[in-house]
Homo-oligomer: A and B are copies of this chain.
Amino acid sequence: MRTILVNTGTELLLGDVQDAHLAFIAREIFPLGLRIDEQRTVPDSEAIGHTLAELFPRCEILFVTGGLGPTSDDITREMIADSLGLELCQDAQLLSSLRQRLQIRGIKWAAGIARQSDVPAGAQVLPNENGSAPGFYLKANINPRIPSSHVFVLPGPPRELQPMFRKYVMPILRSLVPPSALVERRLYRIAGVGESLVEEAIGKKILAIPGIELGYCARPGEVEVRIVGKAEAVEQADAIVRSTLGRSIFSTADETLEEVIVQLLTKRNQTLATAESCTGGLIANRITNVPGASKIFVAGYVCYANRAKTDMLDVDPKLIEAHGAVSEPVARALAEHARACAESDYAIATTGIAGPTGGSPEKPVGTVYVALASAPSETMAKRFFFPTDRETFKQLAAQAGFEMLRRKLLASS
């Protein structure tokens, strides 16, 4: 089925916002045997109408994103209705839930808001559980201008579009696609091994299996391996990946490293604390992004200034003077004292030079010590070198800390 994605939004064409929909939708629909054959970005103008009119006869599935909000530049709803000659009808239920939503949040009602409850005649509403503008679905043949194309109109913000897509669009797509098209997809997330090494380990063996498609995606501190094909071939490939990469695989279920950590600690009824200098709260922030983190996370010490290392965690100023704040002894002391102060089972500590300034010949920008305290005599520390931008540096140091803890938990299980 020929599938096209149209992203509307002048902000995309001005470079103020980067599109996230193409990658998201492409990955979601892949297991259905569907791929995006073409993607277009058009401004919030008459161009939406022209593009739709051109594409309706040229595809079986059309996704249109953005331009459903309350402001005057949000015109996708009207353009869809116009180009199909459908009337927009106010949906009383949508209107009342919209009023309720704003009331709960204490937001004042404004003139344009009600437009979000307008729906083209005959369209099926796709509820928006994370925002005010619902999406909608126009079945093929609802109108002579779309005899064979199914049209999905979706909100622009990814945090609204993505859950809506999974919950409401995917079931419709599944009903449209013949089961023979179905392929399987497996994901493996790996920490602590570079992309090239992962490929070297599994690439040739996997690609020797007929009908297998293999993909890699590198993110700071992790690699995702993706395998696609018919069930039998995928099983064969799965056995190779698991036997070759083993414990380096931290998830096969699209989980983050911090989600895995929270699960492992919850299962063992154990707790964690953090002492962060260079990562500045990122480790604590990532852990507390996970629902249920309160069961395992006790306290985070963001001891950014040297004074804070001494005041918060009683690190001996002489230790800092002798070795420098960015040193293995200080990393160890931070981890051990955080564990003791928080009375937690484990503590991760970081101290390093995120840059862009602050480096020296012995400790250039990108140097970081990561320590893990687990039992009084079992602290370990590692030196890493991540010469990159500030935010990626912080992510890489956080990943290193999480992976040290994960390996420790696996080893002692």
Contact = CB atoms under 8 A, between A and B. Distances in A.
Interface of A: 10-20, 22-27, 30, 35-44, 47, 51, 69-73, 104-108, 110-113, 130, 157, 159, 185, 187, 194-197, 199-200, 203, 207, 213-218, 224, 226, 228, 274, 276, 279-285, 287-289, 291, 293-294, 297-305, 307-308, 311-312, 341-343, 354-358, 385-392, 394
21 contacts: A10-B213, A13-B37, A14-B27, A14-B228, A15-B22, A22-B41, A38-B47, A69-B195, A71-B195, A71-B216, A105-B387, A274-B302, A279-B288, A280-B284, A280-B293, A281-B285, A282-B288, A284-B302, A298-B304, A298-B305, A311-B342
A289 B394 contact: yes
A280 B291 contact: no
B13 A26 contact: yes
A167 to B, nearest CB: 13
Given A14-B30, A280-B289, A311-B342, A22 B23 contact: no
What is the copy number of this chain in the assembly?
A: 2
Contacts of A35: 13-14
A13 B30 contact: no
B217 A390 contact: no
A276 B108 CA distance: 30
B299 A14 contact: no
Contacts of A195: 69-71
